[in-house]
Amino acid sequence: MLIVERRLKNEGYNCINITYPSTKHSIENLSDIVHNRLKNDKKYTNADKVHFVGHSMGGLVTRHIIANSRPDNLGSVVMMGTPNKGSEMADLAFKNKYLAKAFRFIFGPAADQLRTNYEHFDNEVIDYPLGVIASDISLGPIANRVFRAPNDSLVSVENTKLDGMIDHIVVPSTHIVMTLDPRVINQVTTFLKYGAFNHGHNMNLLRTNHYKQDLPDEPTLA
């Protein structure tokens, strides 16, 4: 996320870029780890508004933080390649005991939580500005056989979607390089500024007509 952080700083946002041991804990525990870091950082506690930007599992961690420790000054949330409805690749892995062992070794305790039948919450309500970016370049023939639909080798485009999101866009990129792709990063900053992705709209008109009430002009925290 270093390049994303650099771009957001250039846009005037104060950033907290948090790493966490993704292979050693469940998503619930990871969200606790990240939240503990946040609540001890003055850039977070003193912010006028807080935005979250997460890639892949980071989007799931963000959902758990908001569900359990939602800040009163929550702004917008952007997810990149997040398996909000799980990953068919995870489903395939757990059908084979050898693949399942390897999958758990790579993803740790959170591996089971990446399957398509896993429910993260009973009654989650997305009542905040959420934008989801998916990618659709698959790098291997196995992925295309597994998904049989547009995918980025790990997550299908359809399974990145989440009920209640404001906007969704597909960028021709791959899962692993999304955070390095200038086109993806441009869409992240666009959503934080305007509350929508750039589908070719007049973004200044969009801000004026639809999102002016929710998006302050002052730089805030990402």
Give 137-183 pLDDT, tens digit per residue.
Answer: 988 777 777 887 899 988 999 999 999 999 999 999 999 999 999 99
Angstrom distance (rounded) from CA 74 to CA 176 = 28
Residue 210 has pLDDT above 50, yes or no: no
Judge contact between 113 and 166, C-beta under 8 A. no
Q: What angle do CA 143, 88, 25 make, to 5 degrees?
A: 115
In the chain, the amino acid numbered 97 is K
Contacts of 207 (CB under 8 A, 6+ apart): 193, 194, 195, 215
Token pair for 2: 């270093």
Tally of CB atoms within 10 A around 108: 16
Out of 42-51, 67-76, 113-122, 205-214, least confident range? 205-214
Domain range list for the chain: 2-119+126-211
Angstrom distance (rounded) from CA 63 to CA 126 = 9
Give 7-18 pLDDT, tens digit per residue.
Answer: 999 999 999 999
Q: Strand 50-55 to strand 74-80: parallel, antiparallel, or no bridges (unpaired)?
A: parallel
Out of 64-68, 120-124, 169-173, 211-215, least confident range? 211-215
- Of all residues in the chain, the percent with pLDDT exceeding 70 is 90
| pLDDT of amino acid 202 | 60
| pLDDT of amino acid 213 | 38
Judge contact between 205 and 170, C-beta under 8 A. no
pLDDT band at 215 (very low <50, low <70, confident <90, very high): very low
Residue 129 has pLDDT above 80, yes or no: yes
Q: Which fold has domain 2-119+126-211?
A: Rossmann fold (3.40.50)
φ/ψ of 147, rounded to 5, equals -85, -45
Residue in this structure with the two tokens 């606790």, named with its chain if needed: 32
SS3 91: helix
pLDDT band at 109 (very low <50, low <70, confident <90, very high): confident
